Amino acid sequence: MQRSVQQESRPVSPVTTAVLPLAGRGTRLLPLTRAVPKELLPVGGRPMVESAVLEAAFSGIQRVVLVLGPGKGALADHFSPELAELRRLAPPDAFEGLDRIWSNVEVVSVMQPDSRGLGSAVLAAQPIIGDAPFAVLLADDLIDHSTPALAQMLAVHARLPPTSGVVSVMDVPRHDTARYGVCAGDWVTPREMTVTHLVEKPEPEDAPSTTAIVGRYVLPRSVFDALRQTRPGVDGEVQLTDALRHLTDSGDLIAFRFEGQRFDAGTVPGWQVASAHFAKQDLLQRWTRRTP
């Protein structure tokens, strides 16, 4: 599979590893997630976690780290090459997504040692990532565009110093700011902001803007040190947003307004909307059409 970012002769990002935090309990999707990990719920004919790994593959990522919690072993099993034994019993296209993943991406898994949130999940992947920059994708945030959102971000990151980070953002209604990390700063282009202020889940009256971080991050290795020093914050969890503040102090955090339509499939209504949208054309079909 040829990589879309390289095809467009853009600078090549040094990022080769992506983290998928998957240890959460999926309580917003109850009762659907009583026994099934939310990331295995289908959207567009394939589990959400598979679409996330495909986005990484189509963005040029070579290794994906699944960060798991108790009861989430089925997520690692989904990518096991042993599943190929089922091929003779399956429809012809049933393994199309997995075949692309197995051919292009190494999928490994680690256990999150606690349930202290997104920051803790990212830190659990550090022994595999080492000191390299890395990406983070939230599997229940689906973004529909012919160029994967992560590929768009990696193209931006490739132009920046290695100490920089990029977060994907979108405008949200002010009454929804308490659901997101919210940033403010100076827009240097219509799509890129140098972030100067960052707040995790602010109440609407306290939000510095309505520019919210959604589901995609490209981060430098310094984030790991910051996470180790970050105390639990909102909801008693180690918030990744809090650890990113050291990047705002040096002007090294860029908020990127991606192209595409975002779907929050982490709630029952949102999952239903995403399922209806991607029933017409799933993301693999979208990105395959773009790849010669």
Q: What is the pLDDT of residue 257?
A: 97
Chain centroid to Cα 201, Å, comes to: 18
Q: Where are the alpha helices (DSSP H) in the chain?
A: 4-7, 48-58, 73-77, 96-104, 118-124, 126-129, 149-157, 222-228, 240-243, 245-249, 268-278, 283-290
Exposed, middle or buried, 121 (CB in 10 Å: 0-12/13-18/19+)?
Answer: buried
Q: Are strands 192-200 and 253-257 parallel, antiparallel or unpaired?
A: antiparallel
Q: What is the pLDDT of residue 7?
A: 39
Q: Which tokens go with 34?
A: 């009583």
Beta bridge partner(s), residue 257: 169
Q: What is the pLDDT of residue 117?
A: 83
CB-CB contact of 166 with 252 (8 Å)? no
**Residue 130 belongs to a domain with what CATH number?**
3.90.550.10
Virtual torsion, Cα 47, 52, 57, 60, nearest 10 deg: 170
Q: What is the pLDDT of residue 291?
A: 53
Q: Which tokens go with 128?
A: 């595999």
Would the pLDDT of 290 be above 70? no
**Domain range enclosing 160:** 5-9+13-290
pTM of the model: 0.90
- Section 50-76 average pLDDT: 95
User: How many other C-beta atoms can be found within 10 angstroms of the C-beta atom of residue 107?
Assistant: 22
Q: What is the pLDDT of residue 204?
A: 94
pLDDT band at 20 (very low <50, low <70, confident <90, very high): very high
How many folded domains does the chain comprise?
1
- In three state form, how does the secondary structure of 54-97 look? HHHHHCCCCEEEEEECCCCHHHHHCCCHHHHHHHHHCCCCCCHH
Q: What is the pLDDT of residue 292?
A: 42
Q: What is the pLDDT of residue 230?
A: 82
CB-CB contact of 67 with 110 (8 Å)? yes
- Section 112-119 average pLDDT: 84
Q: What is the largest CA-CA distance in the chain?
A: 58
Q: What is the pLDDT of residue 162?
A: 87
- Section 180-201 average pLDDT: 94
Q: What is the pLDDT of residue 11?
A: 62
The more confidently predicted of residues 48 and 292 is 48
Q: What is the pLDDT of residue 13?
A: 73
Q: pLDDT tens digit string along 227-245?
A: 988 877 666 677 888 889 8
Would the pLDDT of 6 be above 80? no
Residue with tokens 């040094």: 14
Would the pLDDT of 66 be above 90? yes
Q: pLDDT tens digit string along 192-233?
A: 999 999 998 999 999 999 999 999 999 999 999 999 888 776
The more confidently predicted of residues 182 and 89 is 182
Would the pLDDT of 3 be above 60? no
Choice among 2-6, 105-109, 112-116, 170-174 with the minimum mean pLDDT? 2-6
Q: From CA 288, how far away is CA 292, in angstroms rounded? A: 8
For residue 264, what is the DSSP state? E
- Section 96-102 average pLDDT: 91
